[in-house]
Amino acid sequence: MRERMRIVFAPGFGASKRQFPYYENIFGSDFIKINFSNCTTLEEHFARIEEEINRIPQNEGFVLVGHSFGTAIISHYLAGRKTQNLKGVILIGGGPRFYPPRGLGFLMSLPWIFTIFFLVGLALSSPFLFLFKGWKAMMERLEAISLARRLGVRYIHTTYNQTFKRVVELPETRANIPAVFVHLPRDVLVPQAAFVEAKKIFPLIEERQIPTDRYHFTEQFDIYVSGVIAQWIHTKLGGEKLKLPNDVLFALQNPDATFEALDGIDISRKPIIGGILFILAWWKFFMPNNPTLLVQGAYKFDPSDGVSKQETILLIAYVVVPLIIILDSFVYPRLPLAMETKPPAGRFRKVSIILPTRNEEKNIVKNLRSLFSLNYPNYEIIMIDASTSSQTMELARKAEQDYNRKHVAFKIIKEPPLPKGWFGKAWACWNGYKHAKGDILLFTDADTSHSEWSLMSSVATLNRHNLDSLSVIGKFELVSFWEKVLLPFIHMLMFAVMGGRLMNQKKWPLTLGIGQYLLFRREFYENIGGHKAVRNQISEDLRLARKSKKNGRYMVFSGNNIYSVRMYASLKEIFFGIGKNVYDGLGRRIMFSIGAGIALFIWLVLPFVVFPTIVSSFGWKSQITRWFVFGMLTLMALILPALLENEVSFYYAFLFPLSVLVFFAILAWSTYVGATNKPFTWRDRVYQMSLT
């Protein structure tokens, strides 16, 4: 009967908390992973190894496995020791000279705060590293930055000075014990002479080179190496033969197929550099004045250097356009937050804040608390209530008693019956205007929460830019899964479709109007007809914005420090809340809606649908597949600015296809009820897209 063998696994630096499911699956309870996460000195590392070894029964053998930096640790651990029942040593993707002291040693000799500056500089310079050194060099540096972020720079700094300096030199010892060195041809963490050096310590060592030229932290690496370890223990040490999972068996028999998805990924720098320069030049100098120039240039493009016109159009659609939208998102004008300790001298024109409510028991207290706290000396709040119960009004009165310490003028007006030909939101806002006394009107919603300086900032911006009206895109409060998946995508889609930076260009016809924050000069609001002019429009904020831009000076600002809003709390609310506006926003034209659906399918869905066909037709290694993957990544990156603005993990970008599919369902429903004028219910009211 073959001997049972325990596996004592010493992980690499920073990998103590990482999971190794393939090892655990194959070796089961015999797999013992050491946790080095709290170890800084070499003696602490040794103590943890000793602790795990002492738990193994004396009648059972074990194998020491070092992974990456762990290979250096166990090499020094075995120096001068005779460990009972140690049957063999396995060194994985590391070697005794982990992190040579040159360069890194100098950095670690400085105070640890300098390491932070170095890492920040490394992160900022990584795109340039790609241009000069290539894809692999950039990815290696980014992996180092990721490790530093996870562990903490101070911990890395301390560990290096107490441990790394001692293990980069070979221990003067020989261990006549079976060993195997499993490594990459050019491991990013292993010198070329690692095997030669390892043989000085372990004369009986064998070498197993892994057939790939990538990194040792990939899943493919673990699949293959776990099988190599199991086979070596069985054949070399006489351990029992273990049943290997099918994917591990396949990796051992077909290593090239297992690693081909990772081999040779090297995106050509020449077209990337040219493309980046073209995008930046066009985006900076030509786009604001001639947005059709890109399409015209693509049409007149003369194929050269092996690039066809069709490939150029695809590159523009799936790489250039997404990058332009991302650039626009990051430089879009932000409404600055005034932070003076006391208001500047001068006359403050009175602002009337008009707040329509309907069954807002969950939001009204939080909303009014923020409005009563505004740092603006001359304003009033007019609440127009259309609730079907008295609870909203009662909570509003209590909020006034609790939070109105500045004695702001506050009125609650019971909304008159909704007349024929009016939508509820427009009717409430119009009635609020009729009771307002201010020279400036702010229309906001009950689900918003305003920062203290928001009104001061928006009024100052209105004056500074000599505007007639403005709107602000606030921060979304995203709590549930569906909010995080859908709302950043819809935010991005509205921003892109409306033209990004072009929205604030007078010649560009499209713009956005955000109903949560619309600020008007009173005389201008009256001149364009106010909410009465859009009384039969379900997207009254968008229509008012377009009228404002056409007839005056209007701008949209980004302002996640101005207010936050939780628009919808569930998938159902998102579906119907967004859906009621989509068809109306497309002009209530069925052909526009169908055309938008086709365009979005070609642009956002098609790449993900045809990706399996691309891979099966051309293989992972082909240049076509690589460019296709790059295009899909740029599409998914479209929502990164919206995720960052609203403090959502960037991992949600990988749910991009799900966002698109749900939005298509919303578009289909909105088109159906809009084209057929079917009634639907929203917040206790029955709506139809077209009012007669």
Q: Considering only 192-206, 254-268, 337-351, 598-612, which range has the smallest mean pLDDT?
A: 254-268
Q: Are residues 326 and 243 in the same domain?
A: no
> Cα–Cα distances in Å, from 10 out to 204, 214, 360, 532?
21, 22, 57, 73
Token pair, residue 575, equals 């579906």
Instruction: Provide the 10 A C-beta neighbour count for residue 687.
Output: 17
Q: What is the pLDDT of residue 98?
A: 38
The pLDDT mean for the chain works out to: 79
Q: What is the pLDDT of residue 273?
A: 57
Q: Are residues 357 and 300 in the same domain?
A: no
Query: Could you tell me if residue 574 is inside a domain?
Result: no
Between 552 and 646, residue with greater pLDDT:
552
What CATH code is carried by the domain that includes residue 223? 3.40.50.1820
- Banded pLDDT at 190 (limits 50, 70, 90): very low
Query: Could you tell me if residue 120 is inside a domain?
Result: yes
Give the HSE-up count for residue 217: Cα atoms under 13 Å, Cβ half-sphere. 17
Query: Could you tell me if residue 580 is inside a domain?
Result: no
As a whole-number percent, the residues of the chain with pLDDT over 70 amount to 74
Q: Are residues 71 and 200 in the same domain?
A: yes
> What are the residues facing 208 on neighbouring strands?
182
Q: Are residues 80 and 189 in the same domain?
A: yes
CA–CA separation, 97 and 95 (whole Å): 6
Indicate whether 664 pLDDT > 50.
Answer: yes
Q: How many domains does the chain have?
A: 5
Indicate whether 306 pLDDT > 70.
Answer: no
Whether the CB-CB separation of 92 and 209 falls below 8 Å is answered with no
Mean pLDDT of 295-316: 54
Q: Which of 159, 178, 202 is the last residue of a domain?
A: 159
Give the HSE-up count for residue 84: Cα atoms under 13 Å, Cβ half-sphere. 9
Mean pLDDT of 257-285: 56
Q: What is the pLDDT of residue 260?
A: 60
Please name the helix (run of DSSP H) or strand (run of DSSP E) that holds residue 8, with its range, or none.
strand 5-10
Q: What is the pLDDT of residue 456?
A: 93
Q: What is the pLDDT of residue 302?
A: 47
Query: Could you tell me if residue 212 is inside a domain?
Result: yes
Between 40 and 108, residue with greater pLDDT:
40
- Banded pLDDT at 416 (limits 50, 70, 90): very high
Q: Are residues 154 and 253 in the same domain?
A: no
DSSP 8-state class, residue 589: -
What CATH code is carried by the domain that includes residue 374? 3.90.550.10
CB-neighbour burial class of residue 479 (10 A; exposed 0-12, middle 13-18, buried 19+): exposed
Mean pLDDT of 274-300: 55
- Banded pLDDT at 342 (limits 50, 70, 90): very low
Indicate whether 516 pLDDT > 90.
Answer: yes
Indicate whether 645 pLDDT > 70.
Answer: yes
Instruction: Provide the 10 A C-beta neighbour count for residue 27.
Output: 23
Indicate whether 668 pLDDT > 50.
Answer: yes
Containing structural domain, residue 123: 101-159
Indicate whether 341 pLDDT > 50.
Answer: no
Q: What is the pLDDT of residue 264?
A: 43
Most confident of 59-68, 291-300, 403-412, 627-636: 403-412
Mean pLDDT of 575-601: 83
- Banded pLDDT at 508 (limits 50, 70, 90): confident
Most confident of 93-107, 155-169, 483-497, 606-620: 483-497
Q: Are residues 392 and 531 in the same domain?
A: yes
> What is the reported pTM?
0.58
Q: Are residues 87 and 194 in the same domain?
A: yes
Q: Are residues 235 and 273 in the same domain?
A: no
Query: Could you tell me if residue 337 is inside a domain?
Result: no
Mean pLDDT of 285-299: 52
Q: Are residues 355 and 402 in the same domain?
A: yes
Please name the helix (run of DSSP H) or strand (run of DSSP E) that holds residue 112, with its range, or none.
helix 112-133
Q: Which of 159, 182, 209 is the last residue of a domain?
A: 159
Between 263 and 109, residue with greater pLDDT:
109
Query: Could you tell me if residue 386 is inside a domain?
Result: yes
Indicate whether 504 pLDDT > 50.
Answer: yes
Candidates 71, 69, 90; CA nearest to 164 is: 69
Query: Could you tell me if residue 497 is inside a domain?
Result: no
Q: Radius of gyration over alpha carbons of the chain, in Å?
A: 32
Q: Are residues 106 and 93 in the same domain?
A: no
Q: Are residues 388 and 428 in the same domain?
A: yes
Mean pLDDT of 300-310: 49
Candidates 245, 249, 254; CA nearest to 27 is: 245
Query: Could you tell me if residue 503 is inside a domain?
Result: no
Q: Which of 300, 331, 362 is the last residue of a domain?
A: 331
Mean pLDDT of 606-613: 77
Q: Are residues 241 and 283 in the same domain?
A: no
